[in-house]
Amino acid sequence: MLALSLCSVLLATLSERALLAHDANRVRAVAVGRSAALAACEGLDSSNSSRARVNFPRAPEVRFRTRVSGGIGQAPSCDQAGNLILAHGEPRLSKLDAQGRSLWSERLPSEASCSPALLSNGAILVVTREADALLFQPSGVLQYKQALPLSDPRRRTFSIPTASGGALVASGADLLQLDARGAVERQAHARGSITAIAESGSDLLAISENGSVELARATGDFELVGNLGGTVPEGGAVQAGKVLAVVDAHRLVALDLATGQTQTLATDPALALSGPPVLFKNQGSALVAEGGFVSLRAPGGGETVRVSIATATQAFDPAARALRAALLVGDRSGAVAAVRSASDALLLHADGTALRFDNSACLDPFRPTPVPGGIAFTCRSGQVLVVSDKAP
């Protein structure tokens, strides 16, 4: 009888495993932990908050300035030790140490289609334009390669690390949840073209350009939880159970994930806003106004400070309106680092004091990247400028 019972338990276990193996929408939630990286993905963290884990320097000096060959193709990532992970404009992935020295450089089968994602175990995930998921060890050794079922991998792609130890990848309307080896655990299709993905607790989120917000729990497909009420081309960010996004270029909207209800925090038909918003711990935020101004917002959405990234003589130049909108990241104290094409980078502290970094301007900057004790400013041309409180 004991042997028969053990066989029954074994058969039931094997049957359950077989069922899970054939159901790509049923995922076991395994809590591994958040990535310890300072910039784990394009939005810095899995919440897409654009908020650094460390404070920006109060009186920064140039730590180093260099130019990497092959240019830079995506916003850099930064691991816990301060090493920059660069996906080049050519099919190549490199790591620079905290002094800007190359640690290794590896060829890729094709160009990276999004920023490298630094997973919980320190592995580096690169999704390529040929729909390959490549997992590199921190040493640069390729550990896993998986083909992804993306319908059009050359579309804009996003990837974030998840607390389960894997990653979430989005391209067009395709959504893929990957395990720590890059294998597909769950596959879904959003209701629109995805402009941001995020993780809220153990739940996964997809925000589409048409304003729809979809959520997937530990098991099951992505389900619609609400709509932001307009177009959301820059996606949104998640904090305290709410999605914050700039809607229709003139409204800052919060959507409650528990109720699906929306609240307009700020609106100005005459002022063009862009995101995604930088989210601060005090529930305040930072947006880009008129393409080139940093707009600090109180928790209720009201504007408290507005500062031009460009100098006063350039701030209202009509030619500047044709430039791509500025890119922002914040820190724990409420400071903001900002970049825009053809303007020197700006550091705006929470008290409204501002500092510009001379000779940091370039034509196509990426969002600033937090590093230990400082900030890295990078450009598509390959320019890398790192500032910190204590230059060596």
Q: What is the pLDDT of residues 34-61, one digit of tens each?
A: 899 999 999 999 999 999 999 999 999 9
State pTM to two decimals.
Answer: 0.89
Residue 2 domain-assigned (yes or no): no
Question: What's the domain count of the chain?
Answer: 1
Query: What pLDDT is recorded for position 232?
Result: 98
**Taking 60 as the threshold, does the pLDDT of residue 31 lie above it?**
no
Query: What pLDDT is recorded for position 24?
Result: 46
Query: What pLDDT is recorded for position 33?
Result: 77
Long-range (24+ apart) CB contacts under 8 A made by 171-178 are: 171/113, 171/127, 173/208, 174/149, 174/150, 175/206, 175/222, 176/148, 176/149, 176/150, 177/27, 177/204, 177/216, 178/125, 178/133, 178/146
Dump pLDDT digits (tens) for 348-362.
998 889 999 999 999
Residue 11 domain-assigned (yes or no): no
Residue 7 domain-assigned (yes or no): no
Residue 263 domain-assigned (yes or no): yes
Tell me the CATH number at 66.
2.130.10.10
Pairwise CA distance, residues 235 & 253, whole Å: 12
Select the more confidently predicted residue: 23 or 136: 136
Query: What pLDDT is recorded for position 347?
Result: 97
Q: Cβ-count burial of 341 within 10 angstroms (0-12 exposed, 13-18 middle, 19+ buried)? A: buried
Query: What pLDDT is recorded for position 391?
Result: 56
Residue 112 domain-assigned (yes or no): yes
Residue 62 domain-assigned (yes or no): yes
Pairwise CA distance, residues 98 & 75, whole Å: 17
Its domain, for residue 251, covers: 31-388
Pairwise CA distance, residues 82 & 79, whole Å: 5
Residue 3 domain-assigned (yes or no): no
Dump pLDDT digits (tens) for 249-308.
999 999 999 999 999 999 999 999 998 999 999 999 999 999 999 999 999 999 999 999
Residue 84 domain-assigned (yes or no): yes
Query: What pLDDT is recorded for position 5?
Result: 43
Average pLDDT over residues 165-190: 97
Average pLDDT over residues 73-88: 97
CA distances, 14 to each of 20, 21, 29, 137 (Å):
10, 10, 19, 32
Please report which confidence band the pLDDT of residue 111 belongs to, taking 50, 70 and 90 as the band edges.
Answer: very high
Please report which confidence band the pLDDT of residue 241 belongs to, taking 50, 70 and 90 as the band edges.
Answer: very high
Dump pLDDT digits (tens) for 305-349.
999 999 865 655 565 566 889 999 999 999 999 999 999 999 999
